[in-house]
Amino acid sequence: MRLVVAVLLLVALTACTSGPSSVPASGPSADSGQASSAPVTSAVPTPTPETTPPETTPPPARGKLRFDKIATLEQPVAFAVRTGDDRLYVAEQTGRLRTTAGETVIDLSREVSTGNEQGLLGVAFHPTGRWVYLDWTDARGTTHVTEWAYDGTRATARRDVLTQKQPFANHNGGQLAFGPDGLLYIAFGDGGSAGDPQGNGQNLGTLLGKILRIDPRGKPYTIPRDNPFVGKEGARPEIWAYGLRNPWRFTFDRDTGDLWIGDVGQNELEEVNYQPAGSEGGENYGWNLREGDRPFRGRANPRDLVEPVIVYPLGEGGNCSVIAGYVYRGDKVPWLQGQFLYGDFCAGWIKAAPMDELGEAAEVGEVEQLSSFGQGPDGELYALSLQGPIYRIVPA
């Protein structure tokens, strides 16, 4: 790893130049429970035909953003909101799910693995608000996606939805999010070390290096029949997209349903990938045949790979790890409307990219050790620093 920072997540977000020590490959595997297969109707919105827009007043020119601190927690890494609940929930890498007011909802601090890229990494609430899901690694490094029933006061009826052994301690992914179709999307990195030595990114027989799509309310979960690899020999039917190195954060556009994926690079490039609403899934984003928009170590570059929409050089200006944010759909920053926010963990900058000119991103602010973004129920955005602060993003 390039930088030495006395916090746990730095390695998780920096690209690798050499492989770390392996974690014992013990504990339950992703195959420890057979998922049922039942139909789930997809409600992903379909793009509408283009029409000539009416003449409107040009939006204000881009400006700067201000970051107002609303709370300080311990190594915050993920953010979530719950239907019918005005509290903001934050996952601390050290193992607790808390509100920004300081309430502890779930405490896994005695169970999570510590150090490197492990710990409590992701959180999502079911669209009904009745269940909460956490992505975390146990003492052996095994990833768990765990469900609790939650009534706004107590988290009960704990059960594992899915587990996955990790061959190395890094590249665990960890993002959880419910899509516009009401299904749970789960990010897994390629299993770690450097260069994807096991070839997991391109291997459809493993969950590593993928984004999954499941209904977590099955026993242990249900696989939608319209997932792209259902019924295909040798492929895991949970897979929605593949060819990913470490998709630390991905987000859905709340207005369109488009999916934005920040995939942390190896030695040269950081990238953001894009999947339009209405996709049938199955996209191959290229790792480890490609890093960013370049062939990786001379590997072949098949024509069916999906090109990244944003690429920037690793190392330049301190760049080390892309943090995908959201397309802004709030009301408080009119000039930011419809722009995609993203940042870099080490360099600390945050940029806004217009949807029709993603290559023309402008720097709009800075957060030291940016670990994640959050979106409130009103569409307003938040930024998390691994150092502890939670910021509300407002006009400068």
In a domain, 91, yes or no: yes
Residue 87 sits in a domain whose CATH number is 2.120.10.30
pLDDT score recorded for residue 57: 46
In a domain, 62, yes or no: no
Q: What is the Cα–Cα distance from 68 to 303, expressed in whole angstroms? A: 45
Would you call the peptide bond into 167 cis, given omega within 30 degrees of 0 as the criterion? no
pLDDT score recorded for residue 298: 83
In a domain, 129, yes or no: yes
In a domain, 343, yes or no: no
Structurally, how many domains does the chain consist of? Answer: 1
Q: What is the Cα–Cα distance from 260 to 227, expressed in whole angstroms? A: 19
In a domain, 332, yes or no: no
Q: What is the Cα–Cα distance from 375 to 117, expressed in whole angstroms? A: 24
Would you call the peptide bond into 288 cis, given omega within 30 degrees of 0 as the criterion? yes
Handedness of CA 115, 384, 215, 242 (dihedral sign): negative
Joined tokens for residue 144: 């768990």
Q: What is the Cα–Cα distance from 330 to 341, expressed in whole angstroms? A: 13
pLDDT score recorded for residue 299: 83
Pick the closest to residue 323 from 378, 362, 265 (CA basis): 265
- Spacing of C-alpha 158 from chain mean position: 23
- Spacing of C-alpha 367 from chain mean position: 18
In a domain, 26, yes or no: yes
In a domain, 170, yes or no: yes
Domain membership of residue 168 as a residue range = 10-45+73-327+350-360
- The structure tokens 């991103």 sit at 361
pLDDT in tens, 208-242: 999 999 999 988 999 999 999 999 999 999 999 99
Regions of the chain where pLDDT drops below 50: 1-12, 17-54, 56-60
pLDDT score recorded for residue 146: 98
Asked if 247 and 216 count as a contact pair (C-beta separation under 8 A), the reply is no
In a domain, 340, yes or no: no
Helices (H), the chain: 10-13
pLDDT in tens, 172-184: 999 999 999 999 9
pLDDT score recorded for residue 149: 98
Residue 42 vs residues 161, 226, 227, 259, 369: alpha-carbon distances, Å? 21, 8, 10, 15, 37
pTM of the model: 0.87
Asked if 223 and 229 count as a contact pair (C-beta separation under 8 A), the reply is no
Joined tokens for residue 88: 């903001």
